[in-house]
């Protein structure tokens, strides 16, 4: 029988270990590089590889928020529409004829992402509704809001100069987007290693009931995590707007499956409490390289979605097999 004490979250945290999936996916990245080099020699050129790191950075930043939510034991399906909504909001404000308004486009975009996350968190933490259903409904409402705001036409506005610089420019030959992603990696790493909040996320994902009985404010942790996820989604949207120098309908539609796939194949349990952002990082690199090879082979988008879905199903079956053999 487990005794509920204030030290329980720390004991639960002890179960958090690096998953062998990280090594497997890393090996998969090396294999993809070899395959890419065979079918397309320029695949291994420094310029092309740096471009892949740049593209992977957008996925990796968005997947940072998804990782936090999944480690908590929930899932956020509002990511696609969240990306589109924040991108439209940011570019619209940035395109304002009033300089003082245009200058705050990025802060407003971040606040928009935080608001989306807050609504998601309240629904899951306080109304106790399944995160999958609540966030899917939120995704639908955001799609409707964007269509209503734009009238179904191409959104007006421009990307803020800072988002363009972060998404497209380079420092010493290295994409700024990748340097920014490295900063995100450091922040997430410190979050789990040096903060109580990070430990609470893992503990809650392992056993929400036990954490609640030990005196931790689970509702607050859950809400804060969804807000953080919303902010990371907003950052990704702002970077994507800078990369395309615009926002457009369905901008985030292509990211739902890749985001979930990057998190899951990196060893993070879909049930929460086990995994790491390091796994998501290698997962994002793997997905980016795989997508690049499929593009070189001129595979249709439908085939890519099938591949991502099969990867997720395979990882779920592997996790179930592991649990049954313990």
For 38-53, how does the pLDDT look when each residue is reduced to its tens digit (9 = 90+)?
Answer: 988 899 999 999 999 9
Per-residue exposure over 151-163, b if at least 16 CB sit within 10 Å of its own CB, e if not: eeeebebbbbeeb
Amino acid 315: pLDDT = 77
What is 8-321's CATH topology? ABC transporter involved in vitamin B12 uptake, BtuC (1.10.3470)
Kindly tell me if the per-residue pLDDT of 159 is higher than 70.
yes
The percentage of residues in the chain with a pLDDT greater than 70, rounded to a whole number, is: 92
> What global pTM score does this model have?
0.91
pLDDT of residue 10: 46
12-21, 30-39, 172-181, 201-210: least confident range:
12-21
For residues 271 and 321, which has the higher predicted lDDT (pLDDT)?
Answer: 271
pLDDT for res 91: 96
Residue 181 has pLDDT above 50, yes or no: yes
Q: What is the mean pLDDT of the chain?
A: 90
More confident residue, 20 or 263: 263
Tell me the CA distances in angstroms from 39 to 26, 35, 44, 134, 296, one per residue in order.
20, 6, 11, 44, 8
Q: What pLDDT does 271 receive?
A: 85
Which three-class secondary structure state does DSSP give residue 170?
Answer: strand
What pLDDT, on a 0 to 100 scale, did the predictor assign at position 26?
92
62-71, 139-148, 149-158, 315-324: segment of lowest average pLDDT:
315-324
Q: Residue ranges per domain, the chain?
A: 8-321
User: Which of these ranges, 56-60, 169-173, 190-194, 264-268, has the smallest mean pLDDT?
Assistant: 264-268
Helix extents (H) in the chain: 8-13, 21-39, 46-71, 79-94, 99-102, 105-125, 131-150, 161-168, 176-194, 196-206, 208-213, 218-244, 256-265, 277-296, 301-324
pLDDT at 312: 81
Which pLDDT score is estimated for 156? 86
Residue 298 CA: distances (Å) to CA of 162, 258, 295, 301, 303: 33, 18, 5, 9, 10
Residue 8 has pLDDT above 60, yes or no: no
CA 321 centroid distance within chain: 26
- Residue 4, pLDDT above cutoff 90: no
Please report the pLDDT score of residue 3 as a whole number. Answer: 43
Give the integer Cα–Cα distance in Å for 162 and 26: 32
**What is the rounded average pLDDT of the residues 77-102?**
95
Residues 6+ apart with CB under 8 A from 282: 22, 25, 26, 29, 266
Retrieve residue 45's tokens.
Answer: 């050129």
pLDDT of residue 324: 63
Cβ neighbours of 266 (radius 10 Å): 29
Contacts of 273 (CB under 8 A, 6+ apart): 12, 15, 16, 71, 73, 202, 203, 204, 205, 206, 207
């Amino acid at each position: 029988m487990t005794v509920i004490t204030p030290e329980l979250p720390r004991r639960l945290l002890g179960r958090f270990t690096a998953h062998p999936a990280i090594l497997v996916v890393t090996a998969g990245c090396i294999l993809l590089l070899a395959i890419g080099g065979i079918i397309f020699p320029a695949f291994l050129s420094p310029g092309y590889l740096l471009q892949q790191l740049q593209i992977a950075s957008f996925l990796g930043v968005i997947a940072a928020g998804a990782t936090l939510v999944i480690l908590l034991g929930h899932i956020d399906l509002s990511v696609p529409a969240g990306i589109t909504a924040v991108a439209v909001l940011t570019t619209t404000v940035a395109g304002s004829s009033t300089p003082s308004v245009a200058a705050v486009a990025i802060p407003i975009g971040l606040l928009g992402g935080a608001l989306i996350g807050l609504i998601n968190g309240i629904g899951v933490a306080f109304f106790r509704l399944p995160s999958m259903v609540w966030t899917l409904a939120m995704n639908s409402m955001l799609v409707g809001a964007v269509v209503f705001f734009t009238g179904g036409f191409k959104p007006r506005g421009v990307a803020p100069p800072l988002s363009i610089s972060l998404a497209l420019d380079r420092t010493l030959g290295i994409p700024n987007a990748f340097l920014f992603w490295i900063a995100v990696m450091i922040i997430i790493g410190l979050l789990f290693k040096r903060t109580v909040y990070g430990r609470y996320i893992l503990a809650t994902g392992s056993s929400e009931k036990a954490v609640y009985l030990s005196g931790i404010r689970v509702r607050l942790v859950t809400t804060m995590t969804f807000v953080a996820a919303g902010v990371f989604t907003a950052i990704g949207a702002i970077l994507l707007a800078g990369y395309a120098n615009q926002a457009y309908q369905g901008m985030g539609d292509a990211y739902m499956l890749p985001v979930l796939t990057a998190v899951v194949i990196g060893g993070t349990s879909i049930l929460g409490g086990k995994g790491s952002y390091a796994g998501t990082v290698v997962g994002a690199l793997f997905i980016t390289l795989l997508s690049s090879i499929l593009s070189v082979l001129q595979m249709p988008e439908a085939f890519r979605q099938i591949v991502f879905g099969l990867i997720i199903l395979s990882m779920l079956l592997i996790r179930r097999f592991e649990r049954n053999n313990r």
